[in-house]
Amino acid sequence: MTIYSKIIGTGSFLPPNRVTNQELAAQLASNGIETSDEWIVSRSGISARHYADAGVQSSDLAVEAAKRALDMAKLGVNDVDLIILATSTPDFFGGFPSTACVVQRKLGITNDCAAVDVQAVCSGFVYAVSIADNFIKAGTHKNVLVIGAEVFSRIIDFEDRTTCVLFGDGAGAVLMTASQEPGVLATKLHANGNYGDILCLPGKVNKGVVEGSAFLYMDGPAVFKMAVSVLDKVAHEALEIAGMDSSEVDWIIPHQANIRIMQSTAKKLGLGMDKMIVTVDQHGNTSAASIPMALDVGVRDGRIQPGQNVMMEGVGGGFTWGAVLARM
Ligand SMILES: CC(C)(COP(=O)(O)OP(=O)(O)OC[C@H]1O[C@@H](n2cnc3c(N)ncnc32)[C@H](O)[C@@H]1OP(=O)(O)O)[C@@H](O)C(=O)NCCC(=O)NCCS
């Protein structure tokens, strides 16, 4: 009997502080930084993003998203036997204890379930789903909580207009369970460390002191080029593994970084934008959280229906990229 991993619950959470392009432009102008709603929308498709208040951590956003996914899955917290959390903005500098362990504690899980963080930047969620899929198929774990959670507002330099307008905070979660019905149909992951320096946080810690910048650095045009060159290819690889054609994809949910990258991917796959869940306009780029948040939006507004095929695709720092093809 084939065991599949299946997504049976989704959840997302945005911190309440919503900042529009106009509001951000006004804040930046007070520091002598010039930008405009027109520039941000035309280059990225972003109109607004959410920022967590001071003291609110990735784990706090993750817990809210996880509770919603568990509610939809009709499972209790102690039914979870593995937590995999993707983040580049862990609660603790250095990443330990892991944010997954913090989430386990804050959810009140008392069964000592395994919990681990995954670092693949904006591809983190597809990496985490792929790992969960393999644990479930191996038969070692049954109910896996997979979360993407970020507070990118903490690592963006509000004096760098080329990056600060693009990112936001949020969390998304899915509950994946062992099922006899097809769920995840194919996964494909890639990385190329030679491109690590085009999107990174270059600072290093030495004897308690940060050497170099503790802010995100991005070579925007290089990242743009890389993203558009890999996203359709990896989707085709996942389709080939599943023995399917792009015409069988009901919804495509790419990492929500830039509407122009997303439009190019849809075109290369021969799919219309009406097949794509788009949240980048309202969320900005929330890194590992962007795909599960968009998935949750599509599930809760009724566009994504049970039995439909969803292609999720991530791309980000490392450089990393990957795709997950799943039947809902
Ligand atoms: C970042 C990005 C939007 C920039 O768009 P672009 O068309 O490449 O723009 P450029 O970097 O060439 O900059 C064009 C001009 O706009 C200016 N500019 C940059 N940011 C600006 C801002 N926020 N407001 C106004 N002007 C800005 C630049 O200074 C430059 O001016 P110049 O021509 O006088 O030098 C684009 O490269 C991009 O989307 N890259 C991928 C980003 C991404 O998806 N990252 C996450 C992947 S996980």
User: What is the residue-averaged pLDDT of the chain?
Assistant: 97
Q: What is the mean pLDDT of residues 211-223?
A: 97
Q: Would you call 122 a catalytic residue per the annotation?
A: yes
Domain boundary pick from 122, 151, 180: 180
Rounded to whole angstroms, the Cα distance separating 88 from 146 reads 15
- Beta-strand relationship, 114-118 and 143-151: unpaired
Instruction: Based on the fold, state whether residues 189 and 176 are members of the same structural domain.
Output: no
Instruction: Based on the fold, state whether residues 175 and 43 are members of the same structural domain.
Output: yes
Looking at residue 229, what is its pLDDT?
94
Q: What is the mean pLDDT of residues 91-99?
A: 95
Domain boundary pick from 162, 180, 198: 180
Rounded to whole angstroms, the Cα distance separating 26 from 30 reads 6
Residue 4 has pLDDT above 90, yes or no: yes
Under the banding of pLDDT at 50, 70 and 90, the label for residue 99 is very high
Q: What is the mean pLDDT of residues 219-230?
A: 96
Q: What is the mean pLDDT of residues 243-266?
A: 97
Tokens of 257: 């970084």
DSSP sequence for 116-156 = EEE--GGGHHHHHHHHHHHHHHHTS-SEEEEEEEEEGGGT-
Q: What is the mean pLDDT of residues 141-164?
A: 98
Q: What is the pLDDT of residues 23-65, one digit of tens each?
A: 999 999 999 999 999 999 999 999 999 999 999 999 999 999 9
- β-bridge mates for residue 143, sequence order: 177
Instruction: Based on the fold, state whether residues 146 and 219 are members of the same structural domain.
Output: no
pTM of the model: 0.97
Looking at residue 1, what is its pLDDT?
84
Q: What is the mean pLDDT of residues 235-251?
A: 97
- Burial state string for 1-11 with b = 16 or more CB within 10 A and e = fewer than 16: eeebbbbbbbb
Tokens of 223: 């990242």
Range of the domain at 192: 185-327
What separation in Å is there between the alpha carbon of 162 and the centre of ligand 1? Answer: 5
Rounded to whole angstroms, the Cα distance separating 126 from 146 reads 10
Would you give the distance in Å from CA 214 to the centre of its chain?
21
Closest CA to 178 of 143, 145, 147: 143
Answer for the pair 126, 322: CB distance below 8 angstroms, yes or no.
yes
- β-bridge mates for residue 191, sequence order: 320
Tokens of 246: 């792009």
- Closest atom of ligand 1 relative to the 260 alpha carbon: 39
Q: What is the pLDDT of residues 167-195, one digit of tens each?
A: 999 999 999 999 999 999 999 999 999 99
Share of the chain above pLDDT 90, in %: 99
Handedness of CA 184, 262, 245, 298 (dihedral sign): positive
Q: How far is CA 306 from CA 9, 34, 302, in A?
A: 11, 46, 10
What separation in Å is there between the alpha carbon of 107 and the centre of ligand 1? Answer: 40
Radius of gyration (Cα) for the chain, nearest Å? 19
Instruction: Based on the fold, state whether residues 96 and 128 are members of the same structural domain.
Output: yes
Instruction: Based on the fold, state whether residues 220 and 311 are members of the same structural domain.
Output: yes
Closest CA to 115 of 94, 137, 86: 86
Q: Would you call 255 a catalytic residue per the annotation?
A: yes
- Binding-site residues, ligand 1, Cβ < 6 A: 35, 39-40, 43-44, 122, 161-162, 165, 218, 220-221, 223-224, 227, 257-258, 261, 285, 315-316
Q: What is the mean pLDDT of residues 284-292?
A: 98
- Beta-strand relationship, 82-86 and 114-118: parallel
Instruction: Based on the fold, state whether residues 211 and 173 are members of the same structural domain.
Output: no
CATH at 195: 3.40.47.10
The total number of structural domains in the chain stands at 2
Residue 317 has pLDDT above 90, yes or no: yes
Nearest alpha carbon, ligand 1 atom 7: 43
- Closest atom of ligand 1 relative to the 223 alpha carbon: 41
Looking at residue 123, what is its pLDDT?
98
Instruction: Based on the fold, state whether residues 47 and 121 are members of the same structural domain.
Output: yes
Domain boundary pick from 154, 180, 206: 180
